[in-house]
Chain A
Amino acid sequence: MKELKEQLINRIKAHFPDITVENNFNYNRFDVSINKESIHSILFYLKDVMGFKHLSDTNCVDWLEEGEFEIVFIVWSPAEKIKIFVRTRIDRNNPVLETLDMIWPQLHTYEREFREMFGIQFTGLEAPDEFILEDWQGPPPYRRDFDTAAFAAETFFERPGREDAEDVREAITKLTGEEIPEFAKKYSR
């Protein structure tokens, strides 16, 4: 498998010299990072020429500290039984990418999700603004600087907890005469 991976990497590198390859997995996977201008061509190349026909998954990673979003495409070749993680990074403050749904139509759905959850704009994406969230008015919720707990606390009602913070397990055992097993004792307060 190692030789096969090397071969494939060399073939990709011949066309896209500016990629960085990570190939230290001892199973059927290697990673390719590329700048966002070439992402269309490498995906087209992998799909149409090299037989990586299947898009397994697409995901977005928020690198808050580095001010970037990373979009990862996982493509799979049924013939070679190899999967490639194709990564590209875009600016977090101006997250714009051209739509990719002409390569795999199912990317359409993923792009709508990224747009809603991360606020990434895809130029040329023809879809209604709303995807899963309805009437959403806050910032894109999957961004790491979005504080879900604070947002929830201020948007929704909260039920106050018991003030005494008592362990009710003992009260229940007294009531029912049931014994607490040894292993459970160490979890009760």
Chain B
Amino acid sequence: MINDKNSQKIVDIIQNWARQHSIWVLAYGTGCGAIELPPTMTSRYDAERLGVRGAATPRQADVLLITGYLTTKTLKRVIRVYEQMQDPKYVVGFGSCTINGGMYYDSYNTIKVLDKYLPVDVYINGCMPRPEAVLSGFAKLQERIAEGRAEGAKKYKENLEWYRANQKKIIPNWVMPDYNW
């Protein structure tokens, strides 16, 4: 449609500006972390002033929050949810469990490093991150979107085989549909 490089740039800037101010978070929580979201969303911290609000279904959402440890069983659902989401989409890893396993580092059934299975755009550390930390994580995400650096979804598409191999390593019975986005 637009072949001129410069006009594409302008379109990108406008697009990113718009995306940055309407981050819809999928209402889906794993681990302990989802409990920090009600205070983040409600009047005390009021995340909606940053454009962060809940979305009911994966198709409507922009951000998938992984709020804590992921068992292999949940990972399966999370992958499925992530693949159903429409572009633009971002993943925010929430809490030390997603970063290095946290206190579940020696559990037989939880993954330790989330970015080997899904492309993570922003990590928020803490066990549990308080709402202030969550908001600063969202601010960071906005910054990255504005700069056009939040490209997890692109990375996922380009390296799908690598991600799939990692995922299949711990999910032996792969019975998931293929999405063609």
Contact = CB atoms under 8 A, between A and B. Distances in A.
Contacts of A158: 100-101, 112-113
B76 interface: yes
Contact of B170 (A132, A148, A156, A159): A156
B6 interface: no
A188 interface: no
| Size band of the interface chain B makes with A | 20 to 34
B31 to A, nearest CB: 15
Contacts, number: 52
A132 B108 CA distance: 13
A75 to B, nearest CB: 31
B108 A159 contact: no
Contact of B72 (A135, A151, A159): A135
A151 B110 CA distance: 11
B106 A149 contact: yes
A176 interface: no
Interface of A: 132-135, 137-138, 141, 146, 148-149, 151-153, 155-159, 161
21 contacts: A134-B72, A134-B173, A135-B72, A135-B172, A141-B109, A146-B108, A148-B107, A149-B106, A151-B108, A152-B107, A152-B108, A152-B112, A153-B106, A155-B108, A156-B110, A156-B111, A156-B170, A157-B116, A159-B101, A159-B113, A161-B100
